[in-house]
Structure 1
Amino acid sequence: MGKKTKKLIEKLEKGIKEVKSSEEFKRILEFFSKFHNYSFSNQILIQQQRPGATHVAGYKKWQKLGRQVQKGERGIKILAPMTFKKTVEEEEENGEIVEKEKKVTYFRPVTVFDISQTDGDPILSIDLSLKNNFGEILNPLLKFADRKNIEVDFKTVEEDPILTDGCHGYSSGGYIAIKTTDQNETEQASCLVHELAHELLHKDNTEGLTKEIKELEAETVAFIVMDHYEVELKSSKYLALYKKSYDLKESLDRISKVSKEIINFTREFFEDKEEMKQTA
């Protein structure tokens, strides 16, 4: 591992260990919602070096987009994976030594810049905020569940006694029930993300995780996904994760991957819908 790469990894780990307040933790999660396409490590590195960043790219990528990095701007260092093939010798069961090709991945530092550090052509984007129509996110979430072979039912308390006052929904090995009694569409959508997170995070991975950690992780995923669409949640239970988790880095890595998967699927749904409107 090179010195620069080692230095970046040390910076990353230090940043996670130094989370000392719920507000600081919330800012990190809000950052996750903006930079869902980046790895957890790079999300943290970008947030550490440029907290106000909104859209980052490399120097040449900005030029292709018709923008130029301003003179004197200091770049943001992140880690880029580099994969190559390596020939190694392995012993077979019969004792014979054979040569095999293996893929090896290592990381090297690369530099990116935020859009605020550039000048030039405006960047075309689709406004995907759901400020005025929160219920719209339910449809793509249901399609996502279907893609994952997860059955979702919406039920009243009378139809499902498990859905009492304190229970807004539950998941059970490929099945999710969401309470409709006293829950509007925004709350149902948030609850659905929470239960989807349980299915993706905890269905086959429960070793070493307490019930409390599982709940906090699922609630954190719900916050990140809903925050991406500018939907504010009433609950702030997720804020307790930074001081409760047995391994915050490991926990956030899982959360980041699941949030990214849900956001990318729902974004694709909304973008396709917007394109159909424009061509109609």
Structure 2
Amino acid sequence: MTTDAGTDVFEEHRPVLLGVAYRMLGRVADAEDVVQEAWLRWSRADRSEVREPRAYLVRVTTRLAIDRLRQVKARGETYVGPWLPEPYVTDFGDRVPDTAERAVLADSVSLAVLIVLESLSPLERAVFVLREAFGYPYAEIAALLDRGEAAVRQLAGRARRHVDERRPRYEVDPVQRRDLTERFLAAAAGGDLEQLMSLLAPDVRLIGDSGGKAKAPLRILESADHVGRFLSGVAQKGLADATFHFLEVNGGPALLIRTAGAPDSVFQVDVLDGRIQAVYVIRNPDKLKVLADV
């Protein structure tokens, strides 16, 4: 196999590898680092011995991501304020994904699910991602992770139960989510607290991620009153110089706010029964770098 052929094979599988690594790590930059390391290992490997390049590359990427997660946990890294994943653009262009495809995305890459995955062990997370997001059979996952199939099934069941118990319920209809986001923006920008409150579920939660590097709540806000008054206060401080752009992030519509031409914030909402159940606000400038050219 020539070097060019090896490059072509790797590039063919790069989207899958990046998808696995991002779902494992919740950080675009870390996922790209892992995929780059997988490329280095692929380039040094005796590829004549590799019968199934995709399986080989997914195995290497998954193991590297597990190692990265273990390193983070071993260092006991702390984060200032609530943590959210880096926004991951999932724009389909002119192609409209079907309901089943959106359900898979919501079940593996949505902000709500990735928050829950943070509480899984690295192995549980790997099994969940490979099984739920990419549909790998248990036997293949066992081979990828050098584990027995029975052990993998046990890990998968435990991870699935954990996610089902902890993730909030929400709807994945993009039209409804975008409509509520637009009404939410109009009410907040206009300082219309009454209209804003009518869009929020009584037990709505606002999770703001600044990493201590921008202004955002350092704890999760709960209840329509607290969330509504906070958002109204933000609007009153001025959004005159901001521009607003809708884009597809983590499988759902999101609002990108730019100030002075640079990404300032990403807003996304979860919806259930026509009310906003959760508001996600990503303001950490390190996490918004991935949207600089969007």
Higher helix share: 2
TM-score by length of 1: 0.26
Q: Which has the larger radius of gyration?
A: 1
TM-score (norm 2): 0.25
